[in-house]
Structure 1
């Protein structure tokens, strides 16, 4: 059974000083990794990660996750390798297929069928692996491309690879290629416009984990499981908090499902720590990510779970 790792998403960058202070707080509270998402209107991920690594001593940094459709694979290889060098080999690379049509529209990028987007992500992984393995920039100014410091992911040619998603095709790709499989718990609502989402249940999370394990075959035990927790609610009355959350959701979710889903943490510090332990036992989730607004609420849970 894997040891726990804990991480958070950064949501914004207001000033240099405030961001540096936030990164140092993340490290001081015991988090292992700071992640930058890849959304239109959000800060550019790679400068954020370099700044975070420079502001801290041990904090790992990563993308959770890059929208593969937004990136030219060869240029992305350059950015990843350069960032791995400038962070001292502390980078983790997360890739996804993208799920918000509004962001594609805003960026002027064609919204393609899901299968096509997954194929594009698979091709991106292949190109990244080639560039990391060979550094082949023959005939171009500058000669050999920058090479990553790490050789853990991309079949031992680059930084650890995270693949995030919920659909069969993405998770099949994750089972074949990823060092870390990330499950967000956000599901597209069938029959609704793209981007209309709901929270996944415990039963759905369990089924998705089993699917990846089956697809991974002999390498299933090598996979590290990341989960993105959507809310952290510290309370002495779990059921009352769950009832309040259930009433807020656009799509129906029973109170017992709210209490059981691994994508929400609700209760006292001890109750949330117990939930994290149960989730590792049931689903295999050992790499926990919380959103920035829940950074301080989750910190006592980290402390409770550390040896």
Structure 2
């Protein structure tokens, strides 16, 4: 049986506290299920953003999509996550990734390691968080370390865990540990500087989902499958809009590929809703996130599908 849809958006910036909180109230009213904060230097710090969102909503879940694991000390991250889970009344979803923007590491003075080392760091962080979410921090002097409200992720010790990516190593970590798995919509262009991406195709999404499901084994049907939509394009002429996008992308994919990929939504609200239903049937994607600039374009789709 197909999972119910969940809809969400991420936050790129905070023009003001009032603007952020008004957006979150509006999203909750429109039928969105979650708001996410990414973890990039040059953007706002994720945990204060999510706390501000939780403070003015009742049911909207808050999450990270995704934290850059090499940026975080696991003990300090466990404290941040547990505190937010408590202060949001158990609404946190903790997303973790291996990091992919070399320039951010350089600016922060954090060594840039090969991808295999970053993937190992990601898995080690998950293991350490599982341990710290139990009794380890509470055993320190003072004994008042926060403990998460939720006990659904991290083998029953913490909040739901999201892991996403495109590469074999990160998706292998996701298959072993994650409650929610995101198949990323962009791929590193070989031979180009880290952070130079192209859009993924439907065929690549097929292959990546199949890869993770095989690794997850019996867990596969319990996993919630997530898709990050890269663009939402309202139009009455899907093909003409796709032709324009392909021209802007520099011919990296064909028009038919742009119309088929699950990482773009093109059309009227009703057509986008049909795309999402088809994507859930084909890949299992039921948890849908759009980038903040496309919130306005996506809201009518959520309202159409909320029942």
Between 1:140-149 and 1:238-247, the stretch displaced more is: 140-149
Equivalent residues in 2 for 1:72-111, closer than 5 Å:
72-111=73-112
Question: Deviation digits for residues 131-190 of structure 1, max 9, x if unmatched?
Answer: 11224443x332242100000100111000000111001001101100000122110011
Secondary structure of 1:299's partner? helix
Tell me by how many angstroms 1:57 deviates: 1.4
Contact 1:135-1:146 within 8 A present in 2 as well: no
Task: Indicate the SS of the match to 1:286.
Answer: strand
How far apart are 1:129 and its partner, in Å?
Answer: 0.1
2:116 aligns to what? 115
SS at match of 2:227: strand
Counterpart for residue 247 of structure 2: 247
> Quick one: distance in 2 between partners of 1:18 and 1:191?
40
Measure how far apart 1:306 and its partner are: 2.5
- TM-score normalized by structure 1? 0.97
Deviation larger for 143-152 or 195-204: 143-152
Q: What CA distance in whole angstroms lies between the structure 2 residues aligned with 1:70 and 1:251?
A: 35
Corresponding residue for 2:133?
132
TM-superposed deviation, 1:102: 1.1
Mind listing any 5+ residue stretches in structure 2 that lack a counterpart?
none
Shift of 1:250: 4.3
Q: Is the 8 A contact 1:198 1:251 kept in 2?
A: no
Per-residue displacement from partner, 1:50-91 (whole Å, max 9, x unpaired)? 110001111100000000010001110000001101111000
- After superposition, give the CA deviation of every residue in 1:30-53 in whole Å (9 maximum; x if it has no partner): 100000000001111001111100
**1:198 and 1:250 in contact (8 A); partners too:** no
C-alpha separation in 1, matches of 2:61 and 2:277: 23
Match runs of 1:17-56 below 5 Å: 17-56=18-57
* Equivalent residues of 2:69, 2:96 under 8 A apart: yes
1:156 paired with 2:156, answer yes
Runs of 4+ in structure 1 off by over 4 angstroms are none
Residues 11 and 36, structure 1, Cα contact 8 Å, conserved in 2: yes
Secondary structure at the counterpart of residue 154 of structure 1? coil
Matched, 1:275 2:275: yes
CA contact (8 A) 1:96 1:121 kept: yes
Q: Which moved more, 1:233-242 or 1:101-110?
A: 101-110
- Measure the CA separation in 1 of the matches of 2:29 and 2:225: 24
Aligned to 2:70: 69
Q: CA deviation at 1:279?
A: 0.2
Provide the secondary structure at the position in 1 that maps to 2:289: strand
Q: Does 1:302 align with 2:281?
A: no
CA distance in 2, matches of 1:19, 1:141: 37
- 1:233 equivalent in structure 2: 233
Matches within 5 A, 1:122-271: 122-138=123-139, 140-250=140-250, 252-271=252-271
RMSD, aligned CA: 1.1
Per-residue deviation, 1:127: 0.5
CA separation in 1, counterparts of 2:142 and 2:20?
Answer: 33
Q: Which runs of 5+ in 1 are unaligned?
A: none
Query: Within the alignment, does 1:5 sit opposite 2:1 as a pair?
Result: no
Farther-moved stretch of structure 1 (204-213 vs 292-301): 292-301
Shift of 1:294: 1.1
